[in-house]
Structure 1
Amino acid sequence: MKSPQVSTVITALVFSGLAFFIFSLIEPTQTTVAIAIFIIALVSPLIGTTSSSESVASDDVKTLYVGNLPYRANEAAVRELFSTVGQVHSVRLMKDKHTGKRRGFGFVEMSASDTDKAVETLNDQEFQQRTLKVREAKERPEKEAEGETE
Protein backbone atom coordinates (compact mmCIF):
# COMPACT_ATOMS: atom_id res chain seq x y z
CA MET A 1 0.00 0.00 0.00
CA LYS A 2 1.40 3.38 -1.05
CA SER A 3 1.35 6.28 1.33
CA PRO A 4 -0.02 9.68 0.29
CA GLN A 5 3.54 11.05 0.28
CA VAL A 6 4.66 8.47 -2.28
CA SER A 7 1.74 9.19 -4.61
CA THR A 8 2.44 12.92 -4.32
CA VAL A 9 6.07 12.36 -5.29
CA ILE A 10 5.07 10.12 -8.18
CA THR A 11 2.67 12.80 -9.40
CA ALA A 12 5.41 15.41 -9.10
CA LEU A 13 7.76 13.19 -11.07
CA VAL A 14 5.20 12.77 -13.83
CA PHE A 15 4.89 16.55 -14.10
CA SER A 16 8.64 17.06 -14.12
CA GLY A 17 9.06 14.32 -16.72
CA LEU A 18 12.21 13.04 -15.07
CA ALA A 19 13.12 9.90 -13.20
CA PHE A 20 9.61 8.49 -13.31
CA PHE A 21 10.89 5.15 -14.55
CA ILE A 22 12.99 4.84 -11.38
CA PHE A 23 9.81 4.30 -9.38
CA SER A 24 8.63 1.64 -11.79
CA LEU A 25 11.89 -0.27 -11.27
CA ILE A 26 12.14 -0.08 -7.48
CA GLU A 27 9.72 -0.21 -4.61
CA PRO A 28 9.35 3.31 -3.15
CA THR A 29 10.69 3.69 0.37
CA GLN A 30 11.22 6.77 2.46
CA THR A 31 14.82 6.94 1.22
CA THR A 32 13.89 6.78 -2.47
CA VAL A 33 11.14 9.31 -1.90
CA ALA A 34 13.62 11.69 -0.24
CA ILE A 35 16.09 11.24 -3.11
CA ALA A 36 13.35 11.85 -5.67
CA ILE A 37 12.25 15.03 -3.91
CA PHE A 38 15.87 16.20 -3.88
CA ILE A 39 16.21 15.52 -7.64
CA ILE A 40 12.97 17.34 -8.36
CA ALA A 41 14.07 20.32 -6.29
CA LEU A 42 17.31 20.55 -8.25
CA VAL A 43 15.89 19.98 -11.73
CA SER A 44 12.48 21.72 -11.58
CA PRO A 45 13.83 25.29 -11.72
CA LEU A 46 15.82 24.39 -14.83
CA ILE A 47 12.78 22.92 -16.54
CA GLY A 48 10.59 25.90 -15.65
CA THR A 49 13.15 28.42 -16.87
CA THR A 50 13.51 26.76 -20.23
CA SER A 51 9.82 26.37 -20.94
CA SER A 52 8.81 29.82 -19.72
CA SER A 53 11.48 31.60 -21.75
CA GLU A 54 10.38 29.72 -24.85
CA SER A 55 6.67 30.35 -24.30
CA VAL A 56 6.97 34.10 -23.63
CA ALA A 57 9.24 35.63 -26.23
CA SER A 58 10.21 39.29 -25.91
CA ASP A 59 8.07 40.01 -28.99
CA ASP A 60 4.96 38.85 -27.13
CA VAL A 61 5.34 41.27 -24.21
CA LYS A 62 5.72 45.05 -24.24
CA THR A 63 6.37 47.41 -21.37
CA LEU A 64 4.26 50.48 -20.75
CA TYR A 65 5.34 53.51 -18.74
CA VAL A 66 2.64 54.70 -16.34
CA GLY A 67 3.17 58.19 -14.96
CA ASN A 68 1.34 60.49 -12.56
CA LEU A 69 0.31 57.56 -10.38
CA PRO A 70 -1.11 58.35 -6.95
CA TYR A 71 1.48 57.73 -4.27
CA ARG A 72 -0.98 55.52 -2.39
CA ALA A 73 -1.56 53.23 -5.41
CA ASN A 74 -0.18 49.71 -5.08
CA GLU A 75 0.71 47.00 -7.59
CA ALA A 76 -2.57 45.16 -7.12
CA ALA A 77 -4.69 48.24 -7.90
CA VAL A 78 -2.65 49.06 -11.01
CA ARG A 79 -2.79 45.42 -12.16
CA GLU A 80 -6.56 45.41 -11.71
CA LEU A 81 -6.92 48.61 -13.75
CA PHE A 82 -4.77 47.39 -16.65
CA SER A 83 -6.39 43.94 -16.57
CA THR A 84 -9.61 45.56 -17.77
CA VAL A 85 -7.99 46.17 -21.18
CA GLY A 86 -5.68 43.17 -21.59
CA GLN A 87 -3.41 40.50 -20.17
CA VAL A 88 -0.98 41.89 -17.57
CA HIS A 89 2.31 40.03 -17.05
CA SER A 90 3.84 42.21 -14.34
CA VAL A 91 3.57 45.54 -12.53
CA ARG A 92 6.53 47.43 -11.03
CA LEU A 93 5.96 50.66 -9.15
CA MET A 94 9.13 52.62 -8.54
CA LYS A 95 10.19 53.57 -5.02
CA ASP A 96 12.81 55.94 -3.71
CA LYS A 97 15.72 53.77 -2.62
CA HIS A 98 16.44 55.90 0.45
CA THR A 99 12.95 56.54 1.81
CA GLY A 100 11.07 53.56 0.36
CA LYS A 101 8.20 55.85 -0.70
CA ARG A 102 6.58 55.46 -4.09
CA ARG A 103 7.77 57.89 -6.76
CA GLY A 104 4.48 58.22 -8.69
CA PHE A 105 5.36 56.16 -11.74
CA GLY A 106 5.88 52.58 -12.75
CA PHE A 107 5.91 50.02 -15.52
CA VAL A 108 3.33 47.49 -16.66
CA GLU A 109 4.29 44.54 -18.84
CA MET A 110 1.41 43.43 -21.05
CA SER A 111 0.82 41.22 -24.04
CA ALA A 112 2.00 43.13 -27.10
CA SER A 113 -1.41 42.80 -28.72
CA ASP A 114 -3.02 44.65 -25.79
CA THR A 115 -0.64 47.59 -25.37
CA ASP A 116 -2.13 49.87 -28.02
CA LYS A 117 -5.59 49.45 -26.53
CA ALA A 118 -4.21 50.10 -23.03
CA VAL A 119 -2.54 53.35 -24.12
CA GLU A 120 -5.67 54.47 -25.99
CA THR A 121 -8.01 53.59 -23.13
CA LEU A 122 -6.00 54.52 -20.04
CA ASN A 123 -3.88 57.51 -21.10
CA ASP A 124 -5.38 60.70 -19.63
CA GLN A 125 -7.87 58.63 -17.60
CA GLU A 126 -8.46 59.57 -13.98
CA PHE A 127 -7.31 56.98 -11.45
CA GLN A 128 -7.64 57.69 -7.70
CA GLN A 129 -7.96 61.47 -8.34
CA ARG A 130 -4.88 61.61 -10.63
CA THR A 131 -4.75 61.77 -14.45
CA LEU A 132 -2.60 58.89 -15.70
CA LYS A 133 0.02 59.23 -18.41
CA VAL A 134 0.39 55.92 -20.25
CA ARG A 135 2.76 55.32 -23.15
CA GLU A 136 5.11 52.67 -24.45
CA ALA A 137 8.27 52.59 -22.34
CA LYS A 138 11.55 53.65 -23.92
CA GLU A 139 14.62 51.45 -23.69
CA ARG A 140 16.88 52.58 -20.90
CA PRO A 141 20.32 53.49 -22.24
CA GLU A 142 23.02 51.18 -20.95
CA LYS A 143 25.39 52.71 -18.44
CA GLU A 144 29.02 52.85 -19.44
CA ALA A 145 31.23 50.43 -17.56
CA GLU A 146 33.25 51.95 -14.73
CA GLY A 147 36.79 52.84 -15.68
CA GLU A 148 35.98 53.39 -19.36
CA THR A 149 35.01 57.05 -18.94
CA GLU A 150 38.29 58.91 -18.79
Structure 2
Amino acid sequence: MSNITKQLAVTVILAVVVFILLPVLGLQLETNIALAAGVLIGGFIVSFIPSSSDSDSTDSPQVYKGASKTLYVGNLPYRANEAAVRELFSKHAKVVSVRLMRDRNTGKRKGFGFVEIAEKDAENAISALNDAEFQQRTLKVREAKDRPAPQQQDDAKLATE
Protein backbone atom coordinates (compact mmCIF):
# COMPACT_ATOMS: atom_id res chain seq x y z
CA MET A 1 0.00 0.00 0.00
CA SER A 2 1.46 3.35 -0.99
CA ASN A 3 2.08 6.08 1.55
CA ILE A 4 -0.64 8.32 0.06
CA THR A 5 -3.17 5.48 0.26
CA LYS A 6 -2.25 4.92 3.91
CA GLN A 7 -2.64 8.61 4.68
CA LEU A 8 -5.98 8.77 2.91
CA ALA A 9 -7.22 5.68 4.77
CA VAL A 10 -6.18 7.13 8.14
CA THR A 11 -7.85 10.45 7.29
CA VAL A 12 -11.14 8.77 6.29
CA ILE A 13 -11.16 6.54 9.38
CA LEU A 14 -10.42 9.52 11.62
CA ALA A 15 -13.22 11.55 10.01
CA VAL A 16 -15.74 8.72 10.51
CA VAL A 17 -14.70 8.22 14.14
CA VAL A 18 -14.95 11.94 14.91
CA PHE A 19 -18.30 12.17 13.07
CA ILE A 20 -19.67 9.39 15.28
CA LEU A 21 -17.99 10.37 18.57
CA LEU A 22 -18.79 14.11 18.69
CA PRO A 23 -22.58 13.69 18.91
CA VAL A 24 -22.22 10.72 21.30
CA LEU A 25 -20.03 12.79 23.65
CA GLY A 26 -22.44 15.68 23.36
CA LEU A 27 -19.77 18.15 22.27
CA GLN A 28 -21.15 21.13 20.42
CA LEU A 29 -18.31 22.91 18.64
CA GLU A 30 -18.34 25.78 16.21
CA THR A 31 -17.76 24.56 12.64
CA ASN A 32 -14.51 26.47 12.14
CA ILE A 33 -13.09 25.23 15.47
CA ALA A 34 -14.06 21.63 14.65
CA LEU A 35 -12.48 21.92 11.22
CA ALA A 36 -9.23 23.39 12.56
CA ALA A 37 -9.03 20.74 15.29
CA GLY A 38 -9.67 17.98 12.75
CA VAL A 39 -6.96 19.17 10.42
CA LEU A 40 -4.52 19.55 13.30
CA ILE A 41 -5.26 16.11 14.75
CA GLY A 42 -5.24 14.48 11.29
CA GLY A 43 -1.90 16.02 10.40
CA PHE A 44 -0.45 14.94 13.74
CA ILE A 45 -1.62 11.33 13.30
CA VAL A 46 -0.59 11.08 9.63
CA SER A 47 2.93 12.28 10.50
CA PHE A 48 3.43 9.01 12.40
CA ILE A 49 2.75 6.86 9.32
CA PRO A 50 6.14 5.71 8.02
CA SER A 51 6.96 6.99 4.54
CA SER A 52 7.52 4.53 1.72
CA SER A 53 11.25 5.31 1.77
CA ASP A 54 11.43 4.06 5.36
CA SER A 55 9.71 0.77 4.61
CA ASP A 56 11.08 -2.22 2.74
CA SER A 57 8.75 -1.67 -0.18
CA THR A 58 9.32 -3.65 -3.36
CA ASP A 59 7.34 -1.09 -5.36
CA SER A 60 10.39 1.09 -5.87
CA PRO A 61 13.73 -0.51 -6.66
CA GLN A 62 16.66 0.26 -4.40
CA VAL A 63 19.41 2.35 -5.97
CA TYR A 64 22.52 0.28 -6.70
CA LYS A 65 25.76 2.16 -6.05
CA GLY A 66 28.38 -0.38 -7.17
CA ALA A 67 30.02 -0.97 -10.54
CA SER A 68 27.58 -1.99 -13.24
CA LYS A 69 27.56 -3.39 -16.78
CA THR A 70 24.99 -2.86 -19.49
CA LEU A 71 23.80 -5.91 -21.37
CA TYR A 72 22.20 -5.92 -24.81
CA VAL A 73 19.08 -8.09 -24.91
CA GLY A 74 17.89 -9.00 -28.39
CA ASN A 75 14.97 -10.96 -29.84
CA LEU A 76 12.65 -9.76 -27.10
CA PRO A 77 8.94 -10.38 -27.66
CA TYR A 78 7.20 -7.17 -28.70
CA ARG A 79 4.68 -7.62 -25.88
CA ALA A 80 7.42 -7.83 -23.20
CA ASN A 81 7.53 -4.89 -20.81
CA GLU A 82 10.20 -3.51 -18.49
CA ALA A 83 8.73 -5.20 -15.42
CA ALA A 84 8.77 -8.66 -17.02
CA VAL A 85 12.37 -8.24 -18.23
CA ARG A 86 13.43 -6.92 -14.81
CA GLU A 87 11.83 -9.93 -13.13
CA LEU A 88 13.60 -12.35 -15.49
CA PHE A 89 17.03 -10.78 -14.99
CA SER A 90 16.63 -10.32 -11.23
CA LYS A 91 16.73 -14.12 -10.86
CA HIS A 92 20.35 -14.02 -12.02
CA ALA A 93 21.65 -10.54 -11.17
CA LYS A 94 21.11 -7.32 -9.25
CA VAL A 95 19.20 -5.21 -11.81
CA VAL A 96 19.97 -1.49 -11.89
CA SER A 97 17.78 -0.45 -14.83
CA VAL A 98 15.86 -1.76 -17.84
CA ARG A 99 15.38 0.17 -21.10
CA LEU A 100 13.35 -1.36 -23.91
CA MET A 101 13.70 0.45 -27.21
CA ARG A 102 10.67 1.85 -29.03
CA ASP A 103 10.15 3.23 -32.52
CA ARG A 104 10.10 7.03 -32.29
CA ASN A 105 7.24 7.41 -34.76
CA THR A 106 4.90 4.58 -33.77
CA GLY A 107 5.83 4.04 -30.12
CA LYS A 108 5.90 0.27 -30.69
CA ARG A 109 8.64 -1.79 -29.12
CA LYS A 110 11.54 -2.75 -31.40
CA GLY A 111 12.25 -6.16 -29.85
CA PHE A 112 15.49 -5.29 -28.11
CA GLY A 113 16.69 -3.38 -25.09
CA PHE A 114 19.37 -2.87 -22.49
CA VAL A 115 19.57 -4.15 -18.94
CA GLU A 116 22.05 -2.58 -16.55
CA ILE A 117 23.15 -5.03 -13.84
CA ALA A 118 25.79 -5.33 -11.13
CA GLU A 119 29.15 -5.93 -12.78
CA LYS A 120 29.88 -8.97 -10.63
CA ASP A 121 26.72 -10.67 -11.93
CA ALA A 122 27.25 -9.97 -15.64
CA GLU A 123 28.93 -13.22 -16.72
CA ASN A 124 26.43 -15.32 -14.75
CA ALA A 125 23.45 -13.49 -16.29
CA ILE A 126 24.84 -13.75 -19.82
CA SER A 127 25.51 -17.48 -19.53
CA ALA A 128 22.14 -18.15 -17.92
CA LEU A 129 19.99 -16.03 -20.23
CA ASN A 130 21.69 -16.11 -23.64
CA ASP A 131 19.69 -18.51 -25.85
CA ALA A 132 17.09 -18.86 -23.06
CA GLU A 133 13.38 -19.01 -23.89
CA PHE A 134 11.36 -15.98 -22.77
CA GLN A 135 7.71 -15.60 -23.76
CA GLN A 136 8.22 -18.06 -26.64
CA ARG A 137 11.28 -16.24 -28.03
CA THR A 138 14.96 -17.20 -27.80
CA LEU A 139 16.84 -14.32 -26.19
CA LYS A 140 20.22 -13.07 -27.34
CA VAL A 141 22.10 -11.59 -24.38
CA ARG A 142 25.60 -10.12 -24.54
CA GLU A 143 27.60 -7.25 -23.15
CA ALA A 144 26.49 -4.01 -24.80
CA LYS A 145 28.96 -2.09 -26.92
CA ASP A 146 29.73 1.44 -25.82
CA ARG A 147 28.08 4.15 -27.86
CA PRO A 148 30.60 6.04 -29.95
CA ALA A 149 30.96 9.65 -28.92
CA PRO A 150 29.29 12.15 -31.27
CA GLN A 151 32.73 13.38 -32.48
CA GLN A 152 33.71 9.83 -33.49
CA GLN A 153 30.47 9.44 -35.46
CA ASP A 154 31.19 12.66 -37.37
CA ASP A 155 34.76 11.49 -38.12
CA ALA A 156 33.44 8.15 -39.39
CA LYS A 157 31.01 9.91 -41.75
CA LEU A 158 33.80 12.10 -43.13
CA ALA A 159 36.04 9.07 -43.68
CA THR A 160 33.38 7.30 -45.76
CA GLU A 161 32.61 10.32 -47.98
Please tell me the TM-score bracket, short chain as reference.
0.5 to 0.7
Match of 2:142 among 104, 121, 135: 135
Corresponding pairs, count: 106
Query: Cα offset for 1:143?
Result: 1.4
Letter in 2 for 1:66: V
Distance in structure 2 (CA, Å) of the matches to 1:4 and 1:112: 47
Partner in structure 2 of residue 91 of structure 1: 98
TM-score (norm 1): 0.60
Distance in structure 1 (CA, Å) of the matches to 2:44 and 2:79: 47
Letter in 1 for 2:134: F
DSSP-derived class of the 2:151 partner: coil
Partner in structure 2 of residue 56 of structure 1: 65
Task: Extract unaligned runs of 5+ from structure 2.
Answer: 1-39, 55-62
Partner in structure 1 of residue 86 of structure 2: 79
Letter in 1 for 2:143: E
TM-score (norm 2): 0.56
CA-to-partner distance for each residue in 1:96-131, whole Å, 9 max, x for gaps? 001000000000011111111000000001111111
Match of 2:117 among 110, 117, 131: 110
Letter in 1 for 2:117: M
DSSP-derived class of the 1:144 partner: helix
Q: Does 1:65 align with 2:68?
A: no
Identity rate of aligned residues, in percent? Answer: 56
Query: Cα offset for 1:89?
Result: 1.0
Query: Cα offset for 1:56?
Result: 1.5
* Greater Rg by CA: 2
Alignment of 1:5-44 (within 5 A): 5=43, 8=47
CA RMSD in angstroms, aligned pairs only: 3.1
